[in-house]
């Protein structure tokens, strides 16, 4: 299998690093290219053993999967450059936010299979939750191969393309929303009179430990919460205070705003 990455930024780096570390594809079969930063490509070659090339004909020749990781506003120019060299073997995987499959297909001028993925920054630690949508002509064998590639840097959730807006909100932007919650927790803890550095370190370890509890348990998060909530205790008192606020409504507003913005960006590019 030969894999090509157009664009070698932070997200692409997380993806091809996961693929290399999973031993799905030999690193020498992964080729990178970018607009001009050859030093970055050299560093990835030294770090991981992946190759790089600036010849589009050579890149696309016999390439099985072509990751499109350029910035969305640069895609039209990229499409112009690679269109003459696209061949029947190429299957495209877009990590560009907001560009629908129909638009990508139109700009590339091809009927080849196209997938869109929406990873998140947890890909850097091999724990991305990645939404994926396939064009109708993506065969089952190829779908399976793409699932394997994505599982190399996390987990995968296959949805219809229209549902990628919801996935973008829930998991794509999700790390930032959770970081924001943790920020407020640190501030609240500091306001109790403890040193900020101590609170930050304690809450960092609290988050890690709680995540491991979720990972290792078959219980729902609701049940895990109930298991540590004694009637009339301190945890119950704190939860009662939280229930005075519409926490669910706040998160519903948050996710709806993110979905609406995703739809807006997608419509602007059509």
Which residues make up each annotated binding site?
Answer: 56
How far apart are alpha carbons 211 and 206 in whole angstroms? 8
Q: Which residues are annotated as a binding site for NADPH?
A: 56
Cβ burial 29-45 (10 Å sphere, 16+ → b, else e): bbbbbbeeeeeebeebe
Q: Which two tokens stand for residue 187?
A: 């501030």
148: buried, middle or exposed (CB in 10 Å: 19+, 13-18, 0-12)?
A: middle
DSSP, res 173 = S
* Residue 115: strand pairing partners: 93, 134
Residue spans of alpha helices (H) in 110-193: 140-151, 164-167, 174-190
């Amino acid at each position: 299998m030969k894999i090509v990455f157009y664009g070698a930024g932070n997200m692409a780096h997380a993806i091809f690093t996961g693929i290399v570390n999973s031993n799905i594809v030999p690193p020498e079969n992964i080729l990178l290219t970018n607009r001009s930063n050859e030093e970055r490509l050299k560093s990835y070659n030294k770090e991981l053993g992946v190759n790089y090339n600036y010849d589009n004909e050579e890149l696309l020749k016999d390439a099985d999967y072509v990751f499109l990781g350029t910035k969305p506003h640069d895609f039209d120019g990229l499409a112009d450059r690679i269109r003459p060299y696209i061949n029947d073997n190429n299957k495209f995987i877009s990590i560009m936010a907001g560009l629908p499959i129909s638009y990508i297909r139109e700009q590339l001028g091809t009927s080849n299979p196209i997938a869109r993925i929406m990873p998140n920054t947890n890909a850097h630690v091999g724990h991305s939750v990645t939404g994926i949508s396939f064009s109708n002509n993506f065969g089952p064998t190829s779908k399976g191969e793409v699932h394997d590639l994505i599982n190399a840097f996390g987990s995968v959730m296959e949805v219809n393309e229209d549902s990628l807006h919801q996935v973008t909100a829930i998991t794509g932007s999700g790390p930032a929303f959770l970081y924001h919650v943790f920020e407020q927790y640190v501030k609240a803890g500091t306001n109790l009179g403890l040193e900020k550095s101590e609170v930050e370190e304690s809450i960092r370890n609290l988050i890690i430990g709680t995540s491991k509890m979720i990972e290792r348990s078959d219980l729902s998060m609701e049940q895990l919460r109930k298991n540590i909530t004694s009637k009339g205790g301190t945890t119950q008192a704190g939860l009662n205070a939280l229930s005075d606020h519409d926490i669910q409504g706040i998160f519903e507003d948050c996710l709806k705003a993110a979905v609406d913005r995703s739809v807006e960006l997608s419509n602007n590019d059509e």
